[in-house]
Structure 1
Amino acid sequence: MTIASHLQELRRKHETLSNLVEKEQRTPGADALKIAELKKQKLRLKEEITRLSDA
Protein backbone atom coordinates (compact mmCIF):
# COMPACT_ATOMS: atom_id res chain seq x y z
CA MET A 1 0.00 0.00 0.00
CA THR A 2 1.40 3.37 -0.96
CA ILE A 3 1.38 6.34 1.39
CA ALA A 4 -1.08 8.11 -0.91
CA SER A 5 -3.56 5.23 -0.83
CA HIS A 6 -3.12 4.90 2.94
CA LEU A 7 -3.83 8.62 3.35
CA GLN A 8 -6.90 8.29 1.17
CA GLU A 9 -8.20 5.44 3.34
CA LEU A 10 -7.50 7.41 6.54
CA ARG A 11 -9.35 10.42 5.14
CA ARG A 12 -12.31 8.21 4.22
CA LYS A 13 -12.43 6.80 7.75
CA HIS A 14 -12.14 10.31 9.20
CA GLU A 15 -15.08 11.49 7.08
CA THR A 16 -17.15 8.47 8.11
CA LEU A 17 -16.46 9.18 11.79
CA SER A 18 -17.29 12.84 11.28
CA ASN A 19 -20.67 11.93 9.81
CA LEU A 20 -21.30 9.48 12.64
CA VAL A 21 -20.48 12.10 15.29
CA GLU A 22 -22.87 14.58 13.66
CA LYS A 23 -25.61 11.94 13.50
CA GLU A 24 -25.12 10.98 17.16
CA GLN A 25 -25.16 14.62 18.26
CA ARG A 26 -28.51 15.17 16.53
CA THR A 27 -30.02 12.13 18.24
CA PRO A 28 -32.18 12.96 21.27
CA GLY A 29 -30.67 11.45 24.41
CA ALA A 30 -27.36 10.83 22.69
CA ASP A 31 -24.69 8.92 24.62
CA ALA A 32 -22.06 11.52 25.54
CA LEU A 33 -19.42 8.84 26.20
CA LYS A 34 -19.96 7.29 22.77
CA ILE A 35 -19.65 10.71 21.12
CA ALA A 36 -16.47 11.46 23.09
CA GLU A 37 -14.94 8.14 22.01
CA LEU A 38 -15.84 8.77 18.36
CA LYS A 39 -14.24 12.22 18.58
CA LYS A 40 -11.06 10.70 20.06
CA GLN A 41 -10.89 8.20 17.20
CA LYS A 42 -11.42 11.02 14.73
CA LEU A 43 -8.62 13.06 16.32
CA ARG A 44 -6.21 10.11 16.23
CA LEU A 45 -6.94 9.68 12.52
CA LYS A 46 -6.43 13.41 11.89
CA GLU A 47 -3.08 13.31 13.70
CA GLU A 48 -1.99 10.29 11.64
CA ILE A 49 -3.08 12.02 8.42
CA THR A 50 -1.10 15.13 9.38
CA ARG A 51 1.97 13.10 10.35
CA LEU A 52 1.97 11.19 7.06
CA SER A 53 1.24 14.29 4.98
CA ASP A 54 4.20 16.12 6.49
CA ALA A 55 6.58 13.18 5.94
Structure 2
Amino acid sequence: MSVTAPKPHDPRVGAEPETIAAQVNDILSQPAQTLQEEAQLLEQAYNVLNDALS
Protein backbone atom coordinates (compact mmCIF):
# COMPACT_ATOMS: atom_id res chain seq x y z
CA MET A 1 0.00 0.00 0.00
CA SER A 2 1.54 3.28 -1.05
CA VAL A 3 0.80 6.57 0.59
CA THR A 4 0.89 9.71 -1.49
CA ALA A 5 1.74 13.08 -0.06
CA PRO A 6 -0.85 15.83 -0.37
CA LYS A 7 -0.17 18.17 -3.25
CA PRO A 8 0.01 21.86 -2.39
CA HIS A 9 -2.12 24.39 -4.22
CA ASP A 10 -0.39 25.58 -7.38
CA PRO A 11 -0.61 29.40 -7.30
CA ARG A 12 0.04 29.55 -11.06
CA VAL A 13 -3.26 27.82 -11.74
CA GLY A 14 -6.07 30.28 -11.31
CA ALA A 15 -9.51 31.06 -12.52
CA GLU A 16 -10.08 33.45 -15.37
CA PRO A 17 -11.15 36.94 -14.29
CA GLU A 18 -14.25 36.68 -16.48
CA THR A 19 -15.29 33.48 -14.70
CA ILE A 20 -14.83 35.05 -11.29
CA ALA A 21 -16.76 38.16 -12.31
CA ALA A 22 -19.59 36.02 -13.69
CA GLN A 23 -19.79 34.00 -10.46
CA VAL A 24 -19.88 37.15 -8.31
CA ASN A 25 -22.47 38.79 -10.58
CA ASP A 26 -24.65 35.67 -10.45
CA ILE A 27 -24.52 35.66 -6.66
CA LEU A 28 -25.16 39.38 -6.25
CA SER A 29 -28.02 39.40 -8.76
CA GLN A 30 -30.07 37.07 -6.56
CA PRO A 31 -32.83 38.85 -4.66
CA ALA A 32 -32.57 38.99 -0.88
CA GLN A 33 -35.74 39.38 1.15
CA THR A 34 -34.04 39.85 4.51
CA LEU A 35 -30.78 41.21 5.84
CA GLN A 36 -29.76 37.67 6.75
CA GLU A 37 -30.24 36.53 3.14
CA GLU A 38 -28.29 39.54 1.89
CA ALA A 39 -25.47 38.77 4.32
CA GLN A 40 -25.37 35.17 3.08
CA LEU A 41 -25.13 36.34 -0.53
CA LEU A 42 -22.36 38.79 0.34
CA GLU A 43 -20.50 36.02 2.16
CA GLN A 44 -20.79 33.75 -0.89
CA ALA A 45 -19.41 36.51 -3.13
CA TYR A 46 -16.61 37.14 -0.64
CA ASN A 47 -15.72 33.44 -0.65
CA VAL A 48 -15.50 33.39 -4.45
CA LEU A 49 -13.12 36.36 -4.39
CA ASN A 50 -11.13 35.00 -1.47
CA ASP A 51 -10.68 31.62 -3.17
CA ALA A 52 -9.55 33.35 -6.36
CA LEU A 53 -6.94 35.35 -4.49
CA SER A 54 -5.56 32.53 -2.37
Q: Same fold (TM over 0.5)?
A: no
Q: TM-score when scaled to structure 2?
A: 0.42
Q: TM-score when scaled to structure 1?
A: 0.41
Higher relative contact order by CA 8 Å / sep ≥ 6: 1 or 2?
1
